[in-house]
């Protein structure tokens, strides 16, 4: 629906169109169900404006006056002002003389018979016309109310369907959220268990007074094709002993070894701490002791060297480092 049509719909609902514009728009409206729906909604909104006026009941006598006007048929004036109230129909029988009976005549009573008959006839037609017009109005308005009720019912059915679809979507979202929550709770439980295990191990280590004197270093991967490669070094300065745990390290070509180095700022070159290979899963657990005394283990690094190791590290082939 284009913007111009929507703008016109606004003006139509507010009664701001000229008669010609209104007629043209109503023609359009009859063949445009989506526009009808839009206009009806806007009219309901405009009705709020109407209802915002202070609500005052009309004068009580107006109802009866209107009903009387209906009996006069459609020839009654479209508008009768309060200063010129709607005239009730007056029926004068054609067969009756308008001349009133003479007073004192012995046949005076007979003169009233035609008048009485005419009055009765007028009353009968008046009542009959009243009933017919009222029935006509009731029928037409009932028709209108039925059409409106049907429209409202369709609107409600659509609303209920939309609501059901939204509810189904909401239920699906809720189920997803619940599944995610369950998963998160399981992960949290696993982490809690792991934490408890580590805490217990830590307690044991502390009890043995080993951990306080042990340096732990995590060596991160420098390999672009194996970023998850990792190694952890546990180093005891006092005894000059260490333990290297490696995971996710790629297997080497024949004739090659990994070599562990301890970097000591007090020495010109890194100190070799042994060579190793990894298993099929890229793992190894290596207890090491450097080739000579280390005053300060600043960092640990692993390089790829020729089988059996080298005296100095090939820095271009460094795979992990950390401290």
Partner 1 sequence: MYDRHSTLLYSVALKVLADPEEARDVLQHVFLTLHEKAGRYDAALGRPAAWLATMARNRSIDRLRSLKRERTYAEKFRLEADPAEFSPTSHDAPAAYSDEVEMLQGAVAQLPPDQRQALELAYFGGLTQQEISDKLSQPLGTVKARIRRGLLKLRESLDGLLNS
Cα dihedral sign for 31, 37, 38, 44?
positive
- List 5, 80, 119, 232, residue binding partner 1 (CB under 8 A): 80
Between 145 and 196, CB nearer to partner 1? 145
- List 2, 4, 34, 81, residue binding partner 1 (CB under 8 A): 81
| In the complex, least distance from residue 198 CB atom to partner 1, rounded to whole angstroms | 54
34 lines the binding site for partner 1 (CB under 8 A) = no
Map the footprint of partner 1 across residues 55-74, applying CB under 8 A: 55-63, 65-66, 69-70, 74
d(CA 160, CA 166): 10
197 lines the binding site for partner 1 (CB under 8 A) = no
Which residue is listed with tokens 């059901």?
164
88 lines the binding site for partner 1 (CB under 8 A) = no
Provide the 10 A C-beta neighbour count for residue 178: 10
d(CA 305, CA 20): 95
| In the complex, least distance from residue 127 CB atom to partner 1, rounded to whole angstroms | 17
Which residue is listed with tokens 């037409």?
140
Site pattern 151..190 for partner 1 (x: CB under 8 A): xx--------------------------------------
106 lines the binding site for partner 1 (CB under 8 A) = no
Residues with Cβ within 8 Å of residue 86, at least 6 apart in sequence = 65, 66, 68, 69, 72, 76, 77, 80
Cα dihedral sign for 148, 154, 158, 160?
positive
Between 63 and 289, CB nearer to partner 1? 63
Map the footprint of partner 1 across residues 132-151, applying CB under 8 A: 133, 136-138, 140-141, 143-145, 147-148, 150-151
16 lines the binding site for partner 1 (CB under 8 A) = yes
28 lines the binding site for partner 1 (CB under 8 A) = no
Between 81 and 209, CB nearer to partner 1? 81
40 lines the binding site for partner 1 (CB under 8 A) = yes
Between 134 and 196, CB nearer to partner 1? 134
Residues with Cβ within 8 Å of residue 277, at least 6 apart in sequence = 251, 252, 257, 258, 284
- List 26, 153, 158, 279, residue binding partner 1 (CB under 8 A): 26
Cα dihedral sign for 25, 31, 36, 38?
negative
273 lines the binding site for partner 1 (CB under 8 A) = no
Segments in 95-107 forming alpha helices (H): none
Sheet with 318-322, side-by-side order of all strands: 271-276, 256-263, 299-306, 318-322, 214-221, 230-236, 241-247, 284-288
Between 59 and 255, CB nearer to partner 1? 59
1 lines the binding site for partner 1 (CB under 8 A) = no
10 phi, psi to nearest 5 deg: -60, -50
- List 1, 24, 49, 162, residue binding partner 1 (CB under 8 A): 49
14 lines the binding site for partner 1 (CB under 8 A) = yes
Conformational region of residue 149, where left means phi above 0, alpha means psi within -120 to 50, and beta covers everything else: alpha
The token pair at 45 is 């909104």
Question: What residue ranges bind partner 1 (CB under 8 A)?
Answer: 7, 10-11, 13-16, 26, 29-30, 36, 39-63, 65-66, 69-70, 74, 76, 78-83, 86, 133, 136-138, 140-141, 143-145, 147-148, 150-152
């Amino acid at each position: 629906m284009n913007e111009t049509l929507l703008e016109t719909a606004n003006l139509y609902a507010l009664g701001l169109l000229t008669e010609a514009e209104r007629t043209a728009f109503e023609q359009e409206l009859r063949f445009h169900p989506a526009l009808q729906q839009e206009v009806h909604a806007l009219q309901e909104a405009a009705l709020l404006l109407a209802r915002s006026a202070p609500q005052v009941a009309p004068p009580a006598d107006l109802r009866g006056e209107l009903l009387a006007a209906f009996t006069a048929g459609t020839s009654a004036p479209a508008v009768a002002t309060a200063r010129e109230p709607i005239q009730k129909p007056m029926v004068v029988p054609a067969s009756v003389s308008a001349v009133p009976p003479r007073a004192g005549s012995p046949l005076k009573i007979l003169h009233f018979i035609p008048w009485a008959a005419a009055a009765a006839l007028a009353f009968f037609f008046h009542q009959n016309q009243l009933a017919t017009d009222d029935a006509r109005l009731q029928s037409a308005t009932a028709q209108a109310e039925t059409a409106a009720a049907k429209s409202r019912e369709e609107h409600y059915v659509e609303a209920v369907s939309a609501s059901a679809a939204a509810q189904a979507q909401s239920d699906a979202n809720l189920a997803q959220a619940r599944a995610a929550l369950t998963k998160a709770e399981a992960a949290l439980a696993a982490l809690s268990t792991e934490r408890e295990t580590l805490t217990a191990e830590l307690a044991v280590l502390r009890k043995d007074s080993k951990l306080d004197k042990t340096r732990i270093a995590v060596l991160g991967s420098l390999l672009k094709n194996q970023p998850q490669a990792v190694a952890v070094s546990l180093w005891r300065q006092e005894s000059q002993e260490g333990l290297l745990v490696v995971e996710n390290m790629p297997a080497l070509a024949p004739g090659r070894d990994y070599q562990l180095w301890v970097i000591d700022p007090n020495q010109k070159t890194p100190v070799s701490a042994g060579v190793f290979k990894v298993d099929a899963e890229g793992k190894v657990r290596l207890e090491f002791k450097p080739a000579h005394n280390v005053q300060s283990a600043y960092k640990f690094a692993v390089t790829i060297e020729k089988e059996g190791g080298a005296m100095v590290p090939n820095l271009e082939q460094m795979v992990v480092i950390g401290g």
